[in-house]
C-alpha cells in the first residue's frame, strides 16, 4: 500500500536537491522563500535546530543533512507528524528529526533550547491568505501579516542558546517594517542575507483585497511593465535579547 497521507508530490530543487517530497491535505508546499531560507541558513555539525512552520519538513531535513544532531520540527497544520516523518525517512534523517503538531513552540518541552531556529511561519495578512489559494487552510499571519511572525520572534528568543541565530524570512506582502522593528528590539543583531523579487499573479494583483491592503500601507508592490513584483528577504537574528526586553 502507498502512504495514506500522500495526497500529492513535490520535487524540491533547492539546496541539496533534487529531493522528492510528499504532501498531505493540509501541507503547505515549499516556495521560493523556502529556497532562499535554505540557501541562507547556517547549520553547524552537532547543532540543535528548531524548525517552526516546517510544512513538508524540507528545511528540517536540510538542517539534518548539514550536520544538526537534533531537529525539532513544528507545524500547526494537521498531518505534519505523518507527512514530515515520511519525508524524513525517505531521505535518511528520521533518526535526528522529531515532528510535532501545534502552535509555534507550544508542543516542545519548556527546557528545549536551540543553536538555530528557522522561523518560516505564515506571514501574509489573513484576508490575502484567504483569496490567494497559496495556503491549504486559508490562514495567514494575522490582520497585517505581521502578528504571527512577531509572536514567533518573542517566543524564539527564549529558546535560543547563547551564540544562537534565528533565520527569518519577510516580504512586502505583509507589514514588514513592524516585523523588523520587533526583531531589532528583541535581538542584538539583524543582518540581511538574501532578497528576491517575485512576480505576483495578475488575478491577485487585480483583487480588491490586495488593493485595500496597499491603500492601508500594509502591502508594497513594485511595478514592472504590465506586472507587479513583491520583494522577499531573509534575515539572520543573533546576539540574544536586548537589555530590558522581557517577552
pLDDT (tens digit per residue) in 66-103: 999 999 999 999 999 999 999 999 999 999 999 999 99
Is there a domain that residue 1 lies in? Answer: no
Q: Is residue 179 part of a domain?
A: yes
Beta bridge partner(s), residue 195: 233
Q: Does residue 115 fall inside a structural domain?
A: yes
Its domain, for residue 59, covers 8-241
Q: Report how many domains make up the chain.
A: 1
Position 243 pLDDT exceeds 60: no
In a domain, 246, yes or no: no
**Helical spans, DSSP H, in 19-79:** 32-40, 58-65
Evaluate whether residue 99 is within a structural domain: yes
The whole-number average pLDDT for the span 171-197 is 96
Alpha helices in the chain (DSSP H): 32-40, 58-65, 80-90, 126-132, 147-156, 176-186, 202-205, 208-215
CATH number of the domain at 228, please: 3.40.50.150
Q: Tell me the per-residue pLDDT of 184-193, one tens digit each, with 9 for 90 and over.
A: 999 989 999 9
Amino acid at each position: 500500500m502507498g502512504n495514506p497521507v500522500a495526497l500529492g508530490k513535490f520535487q524540491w530543487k533547492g539546496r541539496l536537491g533534487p529531493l522528492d517530497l510528499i504532501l498531505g491535505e493540509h501541507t503547505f508546499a515549499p516556495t521560493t522563500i523556502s529556497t532562499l531560507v535554505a540557501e541562507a541558513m547556517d547549520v553547524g555539525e552537532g547543532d540543535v535546530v528548531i524548525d517552526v512552520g516546517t510544512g513538508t519538513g524540507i528545511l528540517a531535513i536540510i538542517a539534518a543533512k548539514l550536520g544538526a544532531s537534533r531537529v525539532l520540527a513544528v507545524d500547526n497544520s494537521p498531518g505534519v507528524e505523518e507527512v514530515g516523518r515520511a519525508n524524513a525517512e525517505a531521505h535518511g534523517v528520521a533518526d535526528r528529526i522529531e515532528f510535532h503538531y501545534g502552535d509555534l513552540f507550544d508542543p516542545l518541552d519548556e527546557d528545549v533550547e536551540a543553536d538555530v531556529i528557522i522561523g518560516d511561519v505564515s506571514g501574509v495578512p489573513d484576508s490575502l491568505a484567504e483569496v490567494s489559494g497559496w495556503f491549504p487552510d486559508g490562514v495567514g499571519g494575522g490582520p497585517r501579516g505581521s502578528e504571527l511572525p512577531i509572536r514567533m520572534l518573542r517566543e524564539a528568543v527564549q529558546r535560543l542558546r547563547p551564540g544562537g541565530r534565528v533565520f527569518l524570512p519577510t516580504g512586502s506582502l505583509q507589514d514588514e517594517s513592524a516585523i523588523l522593528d520587533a526583531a531589532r528590539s528583541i535581538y542584538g543583531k539583524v543582518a540581511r542575507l538574501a532578497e528576491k523579487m517575485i512576480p505576483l499573479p495578475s488575478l491577485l494583483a487585480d483583487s480588491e483585497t490586495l488593493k485595500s491592503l496597499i491603500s492601508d500601507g500594509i502591502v508594497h508592490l513594485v511595478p514592472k511593465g504590465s506586472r507587479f513584483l513583491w520583494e522577499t528577504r531573509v534575515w539572520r537574528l543573533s546576539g540574544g535579547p536586548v537589555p530590558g526586553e522581557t517577552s
